[in-house]
Amino acid sequence: MAKNSYTAHCWVRTLRRIVSAAKNIEIQREYEQQLKAQFAAADEDGNGTLTIREFAGLMQQLNIDLSEGEILQIFNEVNTDRTEIEGEQVGATLVYILCFFC
């Protein structure tokens, strides 16, 4: 029990922030799981990477409307060897896409 109302208020506020942070972490985990599932669905040959054609399919799955030129530009920006995007690069790719349109 808190010694005074100020301390009680501080505890309640802190606990609310902790609960909110925990919810945000759970939402982030769910988002990452969904993204991994969509990546796996787009990875037609199951090799853990996306070709430009598979990447274009992923963008369609995610309802991200891009022209062929935009898809190529984004693919080349995040993919240094210009052949395939690895699974770890997909999150960075989506962040890049969001910035691309800002």
pTM: 0.62
Q: Give the model's pLDDT for residue 64.
A: 84
Q: Give the model's pLDDT for residue 68.
A: 92
Place of tokens 């609960």: 19
Q: What is the CATH number of domain 32-100?
A: 1.10.238.10
- DSSP per residue over 23-87, as a string? HHHHHHHHHHHHHHHHHHHH-TT-SSEE-HHHHHHHHHHTT----HHHHHHHHHHH-TTSS-EEH
pLDDT tens digits for 26-61?
A: 888 887 788 788 888 988 988 888 888 998 998 888
What number of other Cβ atoms are within 10 A of residue 43's Cβ?
21
Q: Identify the band that residue 88 occupies on the pLDDT scale cut at 50, 70 and 90.
A: low
At 36, list the tokens: 């991994």
**Residue ranges covered by each domain of the chain:** 32-100
